[in-house]
A = this chain, B = another copy of it.
Amino acid sequence: MIYLDNAATSFPKPEKVYEEIARCMREYCANPGRSGHAMSIEAGRAVMQARDTISSLFNISNPLQLVFTKNATEALNIAIKGGLKPGDHAITTGMEHNSVIRPLKTLERDFGVELSIVRGNDFGEIQPEDIGRCIRPNTKLIAATLSSNVNGIILPVKEIGAIARDKGITFLVDGSQGAGSVTIDVEDMNIDMLAFPGHKGLLGPQGTGGLYVREGVHINCLMQGGTGSSSESVLQPEFMPDYMESGTLNTPGIVGLGFGASFIKSFGIENIKHYKSELIKRLHEGIVDIKEAKLYSKSDINKNSGIVALCFKNMDSNEISSLLDRKYHIATRAGLHCAPLAHKSLGTLKCGLVRLSVGCFNTVEEIDFTISALNEISREVQKN
């Protein structure tokens, strides 16, 4: 099987991730930060180590400002709902995933929050000045994805961050696509809040994610509960990370995520980016010659986090994806990818797109086989 669905979840993980999750579960998986016994302390230490590793990957100076969540969606919901009041205005882009759009649209519908959505061009490229033009006196949040989950287009996050900083507006980045292969520096990019999944480019397991909140940015927590701290109080403690980490953490998952991040650090983000871009370039070059195919992604290394998006004339994207799966054992994702506005920007809302998303464990041979498969499908289509 050739796995080209890394934008949904990365597969496989580094061997060490599997091993350390298993070791944690079998050897020391007590409740971290709760009881004071040796095993609980070891679990707590392992969680702290993962917090440190991930913080250093994103240039987060205080790891206690990084909270673990179950996925990026939880992190985005905390970030979006924690700071907006009725009458506030938020700006986002037309390239967002539903994990950003649906919470914002819900606040707009039910809570009196105003919303502006900045559209991109035919490739989903966003101009920072278009975001600047939407700013109103009551603008409290700018939310932008690092990279589109539909066609991989990388947004000018640093430039948007500068505008937000200049105007004193909180800037939230959805790092779901790109974290792990695109450099994220919360200082350099003026990021106030960074949401990320653990199970995609960071090579950790499903059930993990996180949210960084800059010191001084106050947002309400979405959930309250046991934190193992201030146990005498019937109200949530207000210090981080406890404020936003209620209930038992996913210790083995977080341990796995930490080792995923370690793998990335030792391999080097730039090297991963370069390797993935070689695969993406090769795919583009192979597909551009296929008469029936139309590409909706860019092959430029600085504009694509690792996705090739295409469709065939007169053929539903689901049909192509299904053929790739059944006949060639190539795993891809077709349809709308939980991002209707992005497909609206690209003009593909009706047909959807076939998404081939590469990971750092894909090989050149797999890419070449995929190009051959797409060529074969194209020839079949032309025959019929």
Contact = CB atoms under 8 A, between A and B. Distances in A.
Interface in A19-65: 21-22, 25-26, 29-31, 34-40
Interface residues of A, number: 87
Contacts of A225: 73, 76-77, 97-99, 102-103, 338
A97 B226 contact: yes
A253 interface: yes
A1 to B, nearest CB: 7
A140 interface: no
Interface in A219-233: 222-228, 231-233
Given A8-B31, A9-B30, A248 B321 contact: no
A290 interface: no
A207 B36 contact: no
Contacts of A36: 318, 321-322, 325, 333-334
A349 B32 CA distance: 23
Interface stretch (A10-18, A185-193, A304-312, A375-383): A10-18
B25 A8 contact: no
Given A98-B231, A234-B340, A334-B36, A246 B8 contact: no
A103 B235 CA distance: 8
A74 interface: yes
A31 B73 CA distance: 14
A113 interface: no
Interface string A311-341: 0000000100110110001111111111111
